[in-house]
Amino acid sequence: MGRWIDIPGQLSRIERKINLLLQMEHRMSQEMDDLKAAVAAETTVGDSVVALLTDISQRLNDAINNGDTAAIKALTAELTANKEKLAAAVLTNTPAARVEPPAPQP
């Protein structure tokens, strides 16, 4: 005799697996969107730092070339005032070095 096949049970299992795959796909899609947003934010921060440093460099060069000691002093005061804030931001947004655990001794 032939083996009896539980078609409704098999269809139910297939449907559960498809639903699980759809849930996984949705979760992975959300994680990818989150990753893209994080990369965009990092790029924006990096671009902002580059713009800030370029502006400071240009202002300093202009002050030096014009012999404008007042502008140099003002820029120095501005840099001093923002130094701690910038250092804290860099420290906060720089991942710590990864420390590998020691290898087990044989």
For the cut 80, the answer to whether the pLDDT of residue 95 exceeds it is no
Return the higher-pLDDT residue of 13 and 106: 13
Task: Output the pLDDT for position 1.
Answer: 47
What are the sequence ranges of the domains in the chain? 14-92
Question: What is the model's pTM?
Answer: 0.47
State pLDDT tens for residues 36-93.
888 887 777 777 777 877 888 888 888 888 988 888 888 888 887 777 777 777 777 7
Q: What share of the chain is helix, strand, coil (3-state, %, to 5)?
A: 80, 0, 20
